[in-house]
Amino acid sequence: MNPSTSPSPDPSLTLTPKRRWLGMRAKRTVGNTAGQIVLSLLGLLWIVPLLYLLVQSFRAEPGAWSPGFFPQTWTLDNYRRLFTETEFPRWYGNTLLIAAVSCAITTLFVLSVSYAFSRIRFPARRSLMNVMLILGMFPGFMSMSAVYFLLKILLPVNYQSHASLIIVYSAGAALSYYIAKGFFDTVPKSLDEAARIDGATRAEVFGKIILPLSKPIIIYTILISFISPWCDYIFVSYILSGVSDTGMYTVSLGMFRWLEREMIQQYFTTFCAAAVVVALPITLLFMWLQKYYVQGVTGGAVKG
């Protein structure tokens, strides 16, 4: 072969290890910087509407339109009006009651079903798990018509009530078993076997041994179970929209009525104040229990 026509060596192969390391580090730095810029822009797009909602709750000028991002005059009258001149305190109490009761029932159902699927082997177990997993993938609003007529059968006298909402939020709780089951699968079965040898029943094993070791998944289940009824509007509007007593509304339905064409000019700043008050408990709960929430998600994703 003619030396003048031989292929030239790859320049990257002639670099010293130190120069190759510096080149890889530069590429990694550029990639990380680009990723941080993109994430910062996405975070800004997410937080700007929330910040606007917060500052508008302190706006003294009436109406739904503001000439600038920040109000010209700041005031706390919107919060005072929210608690003294509207039915928001009753709506807030209704929502808190429904969310708390639904959360307790849902948490009990999810943890019990998940433990049974994780520890007990019974006929058609795998088939039942697959069917429940598939059913859980469908959005709940697809069953609204069937749910409405079932409620009329179960509660013929007063199906448009808070009890109906609690039934709706709690009835399908077991379909969300997979995260908790994955967490229980990571708990050694030898603990169950040792307790059963000592004479403990299934209920005692579950209540006295497994649950004390499952704090992350319990907190995760409580948070998820509480958020759904706290923020829901679809089923609330479907079940309670025909109620004549507006005091039975939840915060989502009552606040949505403030955004109707006839009321938005009068109640927009009050709506912003109400949105801040509604978001506050969820925000504080996540900040307080974030560690356990992450542990519950990651622990439940280890095994399935």
Tell me the pLDDT tens digit for each residue of 210-266: 888 888 888 888 888 888 889 888 888 888 877 878 888 999 999 999 988 888 888
Residues 138 and 254 in one domain: yes
- Residue 138, pLDDT > 70, answer yes
Give the CA angle between residues 287, 35, 22 to the nearest 5°.
125
Same domain, 165 and 253: yes
Give yes or no: residues 131 and 190 share one domain: yes
CA distance 192 to 184: 11
Tell me whether residue 196 is in a domain: yes
Q: Are 111 and 192 members of one domain?
A: yes
H helix or E strand, kind and range, residue 76:
none
Kindly state whether residue 70 falls inside one of the protein's structural domains. Answer: no
DSSP character at residue 211: G
Rounded to an integer, the average pLDDT of 266-271 is: 90
pLDDT digits (tens, 9 = 90+) for 189-210: 888 888 888 888 888 888 888 8
Tell me 143's DSSP state: G
What's the average model confidence in pLDDT over 169-189?
Answer: 85
CATH number of the domain to which 284 belongs = 1.10.3720.10
Find the mean pLDDT for residues 66-90: 88
The label of the residue with tokens 């299934």 reads: 202
pLDDT number for residue 7 = 56
Mark whether 124 and 217 lie in a shared domain.
yes
Give the domain range for residue 48: 3-56
Q: Which residue has the higher pLDDT, 218 or 300?
A: 218
Domain shared by 100 and 172, yes or no:
yes
In a domain, 29, yes or no: yes
Do 23 and 91 lie in one domain? The reply is: no
Q: What is the mean pLDDT of the chain?
A: 83
pLDDT > 60? residue 12: no
Same domain? For 151 and 197 the reply is yes
pLDDT of residue 91: 93
Name the band, by pLDDT with cuts 50, 70 and 90, for residue 9: low
What's the confidence (pLDDT) of residue 64? 81
Residue 75 lies in a domain: no
In the chain, what percentage of residues exceed pLDDT 70?
89
Higher pLDDT, 7 or 193: 193
Number of folded domains in the chain? 2
User: 124-128, 232-236, 240-244, 298-302: which range is least confident on average?
Assistant: 298-302
248 and 146 housed in the same domain = yes
User: Where do the H-state alpha helices sit in 125-161?
Assistant: 125-136, 144-154
pLDDT of residue 304 exceeding 50: no
Identify whether residues 250 and 136 lie together within a single domain.
yes
133 and 14 in a common domain? no
The closest of 12, 8, 31 to 20, measured between CA atoms, is 12
| 117, part of any domain | yes
Q: Evaluate whether residue 295 is within a structural domain.
A: yes
Question: Could you tell me if 169 and 256 lie in one domain?
Answer: yes
Q: How confident is the model over 144-167, as pLDDT tens digits?
A: 888 888 888 888 777 788 888 998
Within 8 A by CB and 6+ apart from 163, the residues are: 155
> Is 72 contained in some domain?
no
Residue 63 domain-assigned (yes or no): no
d(CA 218, CA 295) in angstroms, rounded, equals: 10
Least confident of 77-86, 112-121, 145-154: 145-154
